[in-house]
């Protein structure tokens, strides 16, 4: 048997439907006994799963280091990937298939040592094992006019660009579609191999980097080593590899000794492999995947629609190779469905006209059939009515798509992954790449179990769900945005270091992460949310120790809200939080005792930080439903409010909080406001700083809403009188502070304030008193000043200068 009768090398483009159909034809004609496929040989043990009906592409081979799961590589496959179709063909006929690229053990070790260029790190799926630019670097200029370095880069990164240019095309993707993806018959592989051989033999190829050269030599040496072994055994061998490597595997091969010398001394590390789900969006070039394609959704449709009657795994069915015109009609029907899903009006007549336009464009452009460019133009003009926004929907949901593959439970994996999938099935959570909003009612057992699972995964760094706010006053509702992404499979493997079940792993990682008082309290809150009872005793012991030894009141204030929320979560989720209540009570006592020493003589920034912490405690205190705790807290705040050395922002905020809590009535709060603003700054040296401190007091007092100003004319009058009494220079100092205060109010509140201010007769105006404006010009200037403060006018339009 001659070499030509014993070997057939099929140089393909990864993730190309035309290449996939051509591989099917070539394999049926050649009938090999062994199929060698570009990919890591450690995956040979996983080939048998290709015949499992539950292994549905897009999927990927995942190689990871057991001792460092974060070090991993993927080899993705779609239904239209030629390698996948070769695997399926071999599985259906009982033909032995194996991978013959450089081992993943070596690839990961080289990457770890920074000896492998990033573009070559995932060699299996790469178009020509580097990152193709899809014509982005292609030029209509004569290649002879380009620098040799640029030509070398173009040849290696995208051989299609030069081949397309030689054929008279300015777009490599369009040329490839015409000659391969839309090809209805024939065997293109000999021509492809010859073209690649010419490109590889060029002078420019000797200008590549040493790292690229060495990596490629090693990969091709390993491929030849496996190929020689199969040929010596007398097998008929079909090779499916990236077209760039095809010339290195045909003709007269280098000696085995030469290849062994290239392979000698390569590093290795222990690896494991499995199948994991993948998505079409991760096959897209826009995702950063080097061997990606622009339109995985379109390619999937192109392959599946044209090959609907091709032989299945059992070998049944009719052979249909041609891409029939109904493919375009079916595609545009699917596009119409996408648009209707977004409530855009698209009729059957629109689809008919779009098909006609696509066919006409193909004829005008001299293409064998309408390709993606033609159907996209027709979609934009007819179905989207010229709207680029609607076309973006089509691109995202149809042209790219978000199809997620599935992997059978029999695929090897870490125990944690098996537990995750079993738990997800028990709570009816599906692994889907489609973003979905989920609102959980924690009073329902299934929703409560879902919440616990998602919270536990967050602790493990597997953010399948992202918490979102829910518009409800109760604590029984919880919102999530869930979306399963392929990289989460790697994070599950990383998390497997903590345990064999989600519960066990989350508990172990949470206990290991304890640190500062704030971190421990956050851990307690997370433990209650996630229902990790075994973690609570250790966390509470750590909490006792940190709370007793930490003398920083800021740390205590930061820790308190999380503890209070943790108690409420325990109530909602049916968890015993009695021990936690004791710690919370003791912590509040320490906060109240420690506040006075740290509250005096603060600067504006330090005071603002303390105000934020006091607000956080005030917001959660009602959740305790403990009158004694609220009384202790309010008494402490009142003692601070009576001090003269408290910075203005803090003083004003304390008075407002005590007013809202009912400790100060309206006359008392108005009197404190009047005293804070009564000492006019005059024009002494520190007048500007005094006015600023008064403005800070007002800011603290009014923070949180304008209701106090709206419903109490005395308070509003005091603020108005103070503003009108400011000197021009002082007004310029306080204006930014006042704009920040009033700008935080709702527009309706600001309009209401403006209306009420216009009715004021002075600082002591009483409700219902008739307006006595006096001099119209002075009144107009004052009202314009109020509009300026409230953000309803600008200095340019108001005419106010002081």
Are both 223 and 334 inside the same structural domain?
no
pLDDT value of residue 772: 45
Identify whether residues 332 and 269 lie together within a single domain. Answer: no
Residues present in the chain in total? 802
Confidence of residue 433 (pLDDT cuts 50, 70, 90): confident
**450 in Cβ contact with 438 (< 8 Å):** yes
Are residues 355 and 447 part of one domain?
Answer: no
Peptide bond into 427 cis (omega under 30): no
Residues 368, 264 share a domain: no
Question: Quick check: 44 and 226 in contact, CB under 8 A?
Answer: no
**455: domain range?**
415-503
**Whole-angstrom Cα distance, residue 707 to residue 335?**
52
Residue 126, pLDDT > 70, answer: no
The tens digit of pLDDT for each residue in 623-660 reads 888 888 889 999 999 898 888 888 888 888 888 888 88
Q: Give the largest Cα separation in the chain, rounded.
A: 115
Q: Which residue has the higher pLDDT, 354 or 498?
A: 354
What is the pLDDT at residue 171? 76
* 112-138: average pLDDT: 40
Which tens digits make up the pLDDT trace of 324-376?
458 899 999 999 999 999 999 999 999 999 999 999 999 998 887 888 889 99
- Inside any domain, residue 581: no
Q: Give 146 or 349, the one with higher predicted confidence.
A: 349
Q: Is residue 508 part of a domain?
A: no
Q: Considering 472, 503, 534, which residue would you say is the last residue of a domain?
A: 503
What is the C-alpha separation between 618 and 624, in angstroms, rounded? 11
Per-residue model confidence (pLDDT) at position 312: 39
pLDDT of res. 151:
39
Percentage above 70 pLDDT, the chain: 78
**Which letter does DSSP use for residue 180 in this model?**
I
CB 461 within 8 A of CB 420: no
Q: Do 379 and 233 share a structural domain?
A: no
Measured distance CA(395)–CA(387) in Å, rounded: 13
Among residues 617, 537, 545, the alpha carbon closest in space to that of 576 is found at: 537
Q: What is the pLDDT of residue 1?
A: 56
20-34 residue pLDDT tens:
989 999 999 999 999
Q: Please say if the pLDDT value at position 84 is more than 80.
A: yes
Cβ–Cβ contacts within 10 Å for residue 594, how many?
17
Q: Are 40 and 107 in contact (CB under 8 A)?
A: yes
> Does the residue 751 lie in any domain?
yes
3-state secondary structure 582-626: HHHHHHHHHHHHHHHHHHECCCHHHHHHHHHHHHHHHHHHHHHCC
CA distance linking residue 302 with residue 258, whole number of Å: 43
What is the DSSP-derived secondary structure letter of residue 382? Answer: I
pLDDT score for 418: 87
Spatial separation of the C-alpha atoms in residues 96 and 209, rounded to whole Å: 37
Q: 3-state DSSP call for residue 271?
A: coil
- DSSP code of residue 380: I
Q: Encoding tokens for residue 243?
A: 């077209």
Q: Are strands 7-12 and 237-242 parallel, antiparallel or unpaired?
A: parallel
User: What local confidence, expressed as pLDDT, does residue 533 receive?
Assistant: 82
Q: Who has greater pLDDT, 383 or 62? A: 383
Do 360 and 420 have their domain in common?
no
Please report whether residue 37 resides in a domain. yes
CA distance 347 to 545: 69
Asked if residue 150 belongs to a domain, the reply is yes
More confident residue, 57 or 662: 57
How many structural domains comprise the chain? 4
Give the CA-trace dihedral at 75, 76, 81, 82, to 10 degrees: 10
Residue 209's pLDDT is 62
CA Rg value for the chain: 36
247 and 379, same structural domain?
no
Tokens in use for 578? Answer: 């009695």
**What pTM value is reported for the model?**
0.64
Over residues 250-265, mean pLDDT? 90
Is pLDDT larger for residue 152 or for residue 470? 470
Instruction: Please indicate, yes or no, if residue 315 is contained in any of the structural domains.
Output: no
* C-alpha 670, offset from chain centre: 50
Pair 191, 283 in one domain: yes
* pLDDT exceeds cutoff 80 at 709: no
CA distance linking residue 194 with residue 177, whole number of Å: 19
How many other CB atoms sit within 10 Å of the CB of residue 719?
22
Per the CB < 8 A criterion, the answer to whether 740 and 699 are in contact is: yes
Asked which of 93-97, 597-601, 612-616 is least confident by mean pLDDT, the reply is 597-601
Residues 54 and 98 in one domain: yes
* 3-state helix/strand/coil string of 622-641: HHHCCHHHHHHHHHHHHHHH
Under the banding of pLDDT at 50, 70 and 90, the label for residue 154 is very low
Q: What local confidence, expressed as pLDDT, does residue 150 receive? A: 43
Q: DSSP label at 370?
A: -
Residue/partner pairs of 348-356 with CB below 8 Å, 24 or more apart: 350/382, 350/383, 351/383, 353/382, 354/378, 354/379, 354/381, 354/382, 354/383, 355/328, 355/329
For 633-702, give the DSSP string: HHHHHHHHHT-SSB-HHHHHHHHHHHHHTTSS-HHHHHHHHHHHHHS--TTSTTHHHHHHHHHHHHHHHH
Question: For residue 665, how many C-alpha atoms fall within 13 Å in the half-sphere facing its CB?
Answer: 1
What's the whole-number mean pLDDT along residues 262-272? 89
Asked whether residue 317 is domain-assigned, the answer is no
Reported as a single tens digit per residue, the pLDDT across 719-765 is 777 777 777 777 777 777 777 777 777 777 778 777 777 776 543 44
For residue 383, what pLDDT is reported?
95
Residue 450 has pLDDT above 90, yes or no: yes
Question: 669 pLDDT exceeds 80?
Answer: no
Contact between residue 300 and residue 78 where contact means Cβ atoms under 8 Å apart? yes
pLDDT of residue 495 exceeding 60, the answer is yes
Q: Do 392 and 437 reside in the same domain of the chain?
A: no
Whether 173 and 134 map to the same domain: the answer is yes
- Residue 289's CB is within 10 A of a number of other CB atoms, namely 19
Are 165 and 266 part of one and the same domain? yes
Lowest mean pLDDT among 234-248, 433-447, 490-504: 490-504
pLDDT surpasses 90 at 792: no
Confidence at residue 351, expressed as pLDDT on a 0 to 100 scale: 94
Nearest to 124 by CA among 24, 7, 245: 245
Residue pair 279/483 in contact (Cβ under 8 Å)? The answer is: no
Token pair listed for 695: 């403005």
Question: Distance (Å, rounded) from C-alpha 137 to C-alpha 202?
Answer: 19
Confidence of residue 69 (pLDDT cuts 50, 70, 90): low
Last residue of a domain, one of 370, 400, 430: 400
Q: Which of 275, 306, 337 is the last residue of a domain?
A: 306
Residue 794 burial by Cβ neighbours in a 10 Å radius (0-12, 13-18, 19+): exposed
Round to whole Å and give the CA distance between 75 and 269: 18
For residue 617, tell me if it sits in a domain: no
Mean pLDDT over the full length of the chain: 78
Q: Among 122-126, 389-393, 502-506, which is the least confidently predicted range?
A: 122-126
């Amino acid at each position: 048997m001659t070499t030509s009768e014993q070997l057939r090398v099929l140089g393909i483009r990864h993730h190309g439907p035309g290449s996939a159909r051509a591989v099917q034809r070539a394999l049926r004609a050649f009938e090999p006994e062994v199929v060698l496929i570009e990919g890591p040989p450690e995956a040979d043990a996983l080939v048998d799963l290709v015949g499992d009906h539950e292994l549905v592409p897009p999927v990927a081979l995942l190689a990871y280091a057991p001792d460092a799961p974060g070090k991993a590589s993927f080899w993705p496959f779609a239904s239209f990937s030629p390698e996948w179709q070769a695997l399926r063909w071999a599985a259906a006929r009982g033909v032995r298939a194996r991978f013959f690229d450089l081992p993943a053990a070596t690839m990961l070790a080289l990457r770890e040592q920074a000896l492998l260029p990033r573009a070559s790190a995932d060699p299996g799926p790469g178009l020509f094992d580097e990152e193709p630019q899809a014509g982005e670097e292609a030029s209509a200029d004569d290649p002879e006019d380009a620098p040799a370095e640029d030509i070398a880069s173009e040849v290696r990164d995208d051989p299609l660009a030069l081949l397309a240019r030689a054929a008279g095309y300015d777009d490599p993707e369009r040329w490839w579609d015409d000659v391969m993806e839309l090809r209805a018959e024939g065997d293109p592989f000999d021509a492809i191999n010859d073209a690649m051989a010419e490109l590889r033999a060029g002078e420019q190829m000797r200008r590549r980097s040493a790292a690229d050269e060495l990596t490629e030599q090693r990969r091709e040496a390993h491929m030849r080593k496996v190929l020689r072994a199969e040929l010596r055994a007398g097998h008929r061998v079909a090779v499916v590899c990236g077209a760039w490597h095809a010339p290195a595997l045909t003709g007269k091969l280098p000696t085995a000794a030469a290849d062994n010398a290239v392979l000698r001394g390569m590093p290795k590390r222990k690896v494991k492999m499995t199948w994991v789900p993948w998505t079409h969006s991760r096959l897209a070039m826009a995702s950063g995947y080097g061997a990606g394609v622009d339109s995985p959704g379109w390619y999937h449709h192109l392959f599946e629609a044209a090959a609907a009657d091709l032989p299945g795994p059992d070998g049944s069915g009719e052979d249909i190779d041609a891409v029939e015109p109904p493919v375009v009609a079916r595609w545009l029907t699917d596009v119409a469905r996408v648009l209707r899903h977004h409530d855009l009006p698209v009729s059957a007549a629109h689809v008919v006209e779009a098909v006609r336009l696509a066919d006409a464009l193909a004829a005008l452009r001299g293409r064998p059939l309408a390709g993606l460019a033609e159907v996209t133009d027709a979609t934009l003009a007819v179905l989207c009515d010229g709207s680029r926004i609607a076309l973006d929907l089509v691109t995202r949901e149809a042209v790219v798509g978000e199809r997620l593959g599935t992997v059978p439970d029999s695929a090897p994996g870490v125990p944690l992954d098996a537990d995750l999938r079993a738990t997800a099935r028990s709570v009816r959570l599906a692994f889907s790449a489609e973003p979905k909003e989920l609102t959980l009612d924690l009073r329902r057992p299934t929703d409560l179990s879902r919440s616990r699972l998602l919270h536990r995964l967050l602790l493990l760094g597997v953010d399948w769900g992202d918490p979102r706010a829910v518009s409800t006053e109760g604590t029984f509702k919880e919102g999530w945005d869930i979306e399963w992404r392929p990289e989460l499979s790697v994070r599950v493997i990383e998390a497997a270091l903590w345990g064999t079940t989600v519960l066990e792993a989350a508990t172990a990682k949470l206990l290991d992460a304890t640190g500062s008082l704030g971190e421990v309290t956050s851990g307690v809150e997370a433990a209650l949310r996630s229902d990790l009872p075994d973690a609570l005793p250790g966390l509470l012991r750590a909490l006792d120790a940190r709370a007793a030894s930490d003398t920083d009141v800021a740390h205590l204030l930061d820790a308190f809200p999380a503890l209070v929320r943790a108690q409420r979560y325990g109530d909602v989720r049916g968890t015993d939080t009695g021990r936690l209540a004791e710690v919370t009570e003791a912590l509040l006592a320490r906060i109240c005792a420690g506040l006075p020493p740290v509250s005096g003589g603060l600067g504006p920034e330090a005071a603002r930080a303390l105000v934020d912490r006091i607000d956080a405690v005030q917001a959660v205190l009602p959740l305790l439903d403990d009158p004694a705790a609220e009384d202790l807290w309010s008494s402490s705040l009142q003692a601070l409010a009576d001090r003269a050395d408290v910075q203005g922002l803090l003083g004003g905020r304390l008075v407002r909080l005590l007013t809202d809590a009912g400790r100060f009535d309206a006359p008392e709060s108005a009197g404190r406001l009047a005293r804070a603003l009564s000492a006019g700054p005059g024009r002494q040296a520190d007048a500007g700083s005094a006015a600023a401190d008064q403005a800070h007091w007002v800011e603290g007092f009014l923070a949180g809403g304008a209701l106090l100003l709206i419903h109490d004319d005395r308070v509003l009058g005091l603020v108005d009188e103070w503003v009108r009494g400011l000197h021009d220079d002082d007004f310029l100092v306080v204006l930014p502070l006042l704009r920040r205060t009033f700008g935080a109010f709702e527009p309706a509140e600001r309009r209401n304030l403006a209306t009420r201010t216009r009715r004021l007769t002075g600082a002591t105006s009483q409700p219902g008193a008739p307006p006595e404006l006096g001099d119209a010009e002075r009144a107009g200037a004052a009202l314009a000043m109020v509009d300026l403060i409230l953000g309803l006018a600008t200095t340019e339009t108001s005419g106010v200068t002081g």
